[in-house]
Amino acid sequence: MTPEEIGALIRRIEDEERRLRLPRFDNDDAWRLGSLLVDMAREQGAPVVVDIRRNGQQLFHCALPGTSADNDAWILRKTRTVDRYGCSSYLVGLRFAAKGESFEEKSRLDPDTYAAHGGAFPITVEGVGVVGTVAVSGLPQAEDHRMVVAGLERFLA
């Protein structure tokens, strides 16, 4: 990806994070959002894990056929990155790339604990801030990210 393409992608994701804010978020919302993402994945034949957390508590988790425990590990690593940086895991990785740096080398964080790859997105409640994460793992990182964004867009519609 060229620096211009990385910059454009960063701006797009920043816009997604501004747009995709929820008026509230409780356990029932987590169930509805998670179920929506699972339905979307099934429609696409996507072998993914869907995970939703609020304040560190796992509220929804579903592993579709074709996934493995490796996907669960990716979910945890990407979710920790959102928790630490307050923005999507994909955006974190792109911001490092925009500076010509590698997250794994420059963040000083254990790559077995954190991953700046697409697929984990902050759950932001208007007037409150980031309260949790919604994550998908199983596809290439840009597709994981797009699935989460599409799910949030449908959920908010």
Per-residue pLDDT of the chain (157 residues; tens, 9 = 90+): 888 899 999 999 999 999 999 999 999 999 999 999 999 999 999 999 999 999 989 999 999 999 999 999 999 999 999 999 999 999 999 999 999 999 999 999 999 999 999 999 999 999 999 999 999 999 999 999 999 999 999 999 9
How far is it, in rounded angstroms, from Cα 99 to Cα 121? 22
Cβ proximity of 6 and 116 under 8 Å: no
The count of C-alpha atoms lying within 13 angstroms of the C-alpha of 136, restricted to the half-sphere facing its C-beta, is: 31
If one looks up domain 3-156 in CATH, what number appears? 3.30.450.150
pLDDT of residue 1: 80
Cβ proximity of 38 and 138 under 8 Å: no
Q: Which residues contact 98 (CB under 8 A, 6 or more apart)?
A: 3, 6, 7, 10
pTM over 0.75: yes
pLDDT of residue 8: 94
Q: Which 3 state secondary structure label does DSSP give 7? A: helix
